[in-house]
């Protein structure tokens, strides 16, 4: 049953632009697919390797700016950013890893957060390169949403598949070993630094590609949007947690939930509820953080049995010890 529902979901996603012609709904779906990529990337580093990054905005922003700078500085199409953005983000990921991986736990979280803030401030004040708060404005290539939709779908599928393959390989087991107990893993001969770096490089690559896609799709970026602590770094964490961290299907499910919820509040439930609700959408985001952490720490996918138990009145069985899949 669960197996078929995945195929059904993928099929439904493929057919979505044919079924729904409204650009507004297509736009939401494109954003959700983009968040599938970011959430899954974050999940590889945090959910599987145990390194909770509070700075994924770095990679998103670097990817977006690589694409934007292609147009403004090199005079070539921003689509080249799709090729350059990933490797550029990896470069930053490499530096971030060199600095932060000697730290653990809370120190690591804070270091990533601080680096992201540094990058935001630099992007804001280095006007000759980034145009500062003016941001970068390009003209979108396609007027229709459909090409963007399938591109986003392609990236998301590639990302989820790549992470799925990595997790099933030897690397995946190394990652989980490091998450569970870094010292024990090192004693077994797993170089924690090397495998944490590999995890981070893969993670930053896909986040960078997502950033470059965002630049191409939205046509406008500025430092406060793409390097945002709340709306990129924290959002990435939420997407993974609400879906279920440490599970392949967690972040994809979480991405759709989060993007839909955010859009519901932003548009005041598509206009059915009074307008002041849309003014409070940032508050809704905060409340969502609290509720998710408080009641659904293992996400929709992780707590699925518990959630469905709410309706069927079945008691959740005692969870078995899993290897993190």
Partner 1 sequence: MEMFIQMLVAGILIGGIYALIGLGMTLIMGVMRIINLAHGQLMMVAMYITYVLYFYLGIDPYFALLVAMPALFLLGVAIQKYFLNPLLKIDSIIPQNQILMTVGVGIVLTETIRFIFRSDYKSVKTSYSSATFMIGNISWNVPMFVAFGLAVALTAGLFIFLLKTDAGKSVRATAQNKDAAMIMGINADWITQLTYGLGAAMAAAGGTLLLPIYYLFPDVGSQFTLKAFIITVLGGMGSTVGAIVGGIVLGIAETLGATYISMDLKDAFGMVIFVVVLVFMPGGLKELTKV
Q: Where do contacts with partner 1 occur on this chain (CB under 8 A)?
A: 46-47, 52, 99, 102-103, 105-107, 109-111, 114-115, 117-118, 121-122, 124-125, 229-230, 234, 237, 241, 245-246, 279-280, 282-283, 285-290, 293-294, 297-298, 302, 324
Residue number, 6 or 102, with CB nearest to partner 1: 102
CA atoms within a 13 Å half-sphere pointing along the CA-CB vector of 170: 2
Q: What is the nearest approach in angstroms of partner 1 to the Cβ of residue 324?
A: 7
Instruction: Please give the distance of CA 23 from its chain centroid, rounded to a whole number.
Output: 23
Half-sphere exposure of 109 (CA within 13 A, CB side): 7
Smallest gap, in angstroms, from Cβ of residue 114 to partner 1? 5
Q: How far is the CB of 269 from partner 1 (least distance, A)?
A: 18
> To the nearest whole angstrom, how small is the minimum distance from the Cβ of residue 321 to partner 1?
11
Helical packing angle, 192-218 and 23-43, nearest 10°: 170
When the beta carbons of 46 and 226 are compared against partner 1, the nearer one is: 46
Q: Are the beta carbons of 203 and 44 closer than 8 angstroms?
A: yes
Determine whether 314 is exposed, middle or buried from the number of CB atoms within 10 Å of its CB (0-12, 13-18, 19+): exposed
Is 218 or 301 the residue whose CB approaches partner 1 more closely? 301
Nearer Cβ to partner 1, position 146 or 288? 288
Q: Rounded to whole angstroms, how far apart are CA atoms 292 and 310?
A: 16
Closer residue to partner 1, CB minimum distance, 33 or 234: 234
Nearest to 45 by CA among 109, 95, 119: 109
Task: Find out whether 78 and 68 touch, Cβ atoms under 8 Å.
Answer: yes
Minimum distance, C-beta of residue 293 to partner 1, in the bound complex (Å):
5
Quick one: 46 or 210, whose CB is closer to partner 1?
A: 46
* Minimal distance, residue 306 CB to partner 1, in Å: 12
Is residue 220 helix, strand or coil?
A: strand
Minimum CB separation of residue 127 from partner 1 in Å reads: 9
Task: Round to whole Å and give the CA distance between 65 and 191.
Answer: 33
Work out the number of other CB atoms within 10 angstroms of the CB of residue 287: 12
Extract the tokens encoding 205. Answer: 């690559």
CB 247 within 8 A of CB 189: no
For partner 1, which is the closer residue by CB, 186 or 224?
A: 224
């Amino acid at each position: 049953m669960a197996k078929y529902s995945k195929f059904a979901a993928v099929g439904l996603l493929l057919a979505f632009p044919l079924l729904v012609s409204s650009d507004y709904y297509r736009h939401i779906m494109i954003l959700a697919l983009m968040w599938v990529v970011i959430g899954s990337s974050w999940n590889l580093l945090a959910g599987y390797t145990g390194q909770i990054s509070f700075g994924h905005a770095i990679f998103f922003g670097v990817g977006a700016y690589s694409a934007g700078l292609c147009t403004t500085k090199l005079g070539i199409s921003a689509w080249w950013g799709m090729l350059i953005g990933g490797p550029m983000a990896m470069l930053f990921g490499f530096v971030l890893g060199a600095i932060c991986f000697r730290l653990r736990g809370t120190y690591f979280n804070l270091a990533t957060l601080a680096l992201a803030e540094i990058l935001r401030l630099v992007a804001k004040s280095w006007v000759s390169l980034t145009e500062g708060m003016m941001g970068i404005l390009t003209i979108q290539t396609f007027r229709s949403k459909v090409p963007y939709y399938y591109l986003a779908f392609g990236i998301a599928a590639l990302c989820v598949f790549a992470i799925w393959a990595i997790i099933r390989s030897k690397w995946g087991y190394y990652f989980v070993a490091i998450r569970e107990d870094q010292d024990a893993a090192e004693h077994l001969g797993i170089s924690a630094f090397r495998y944490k770096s590999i995890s981070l490089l893969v993670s930053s690559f896909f986040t960078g590609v997502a950033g470059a896609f965002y630049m191409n799709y939205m046509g406008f970026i500025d430092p406060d949007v793409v390097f945002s602590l709340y709306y990129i770094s924290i959002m990435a964490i939420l997407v993974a947690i609400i879906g279920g961290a440490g599970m392949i299907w967690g972040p994809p499910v979480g991405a759709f939930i989060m993007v839909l919820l955010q859009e519901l509040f932003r548009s005041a439930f598509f206009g059915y509820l009074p307008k002041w609700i849309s003014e409070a959408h940032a508050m809704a985001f905060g409340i969502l953080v609290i509720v998710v952490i408080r009641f659904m720490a293992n996400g929709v996918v992780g707590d699925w049995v518990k959630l469905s138990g709410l309706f069927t009145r079945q008691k959740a069985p005692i969870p078995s010890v899993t290897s993190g899949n």
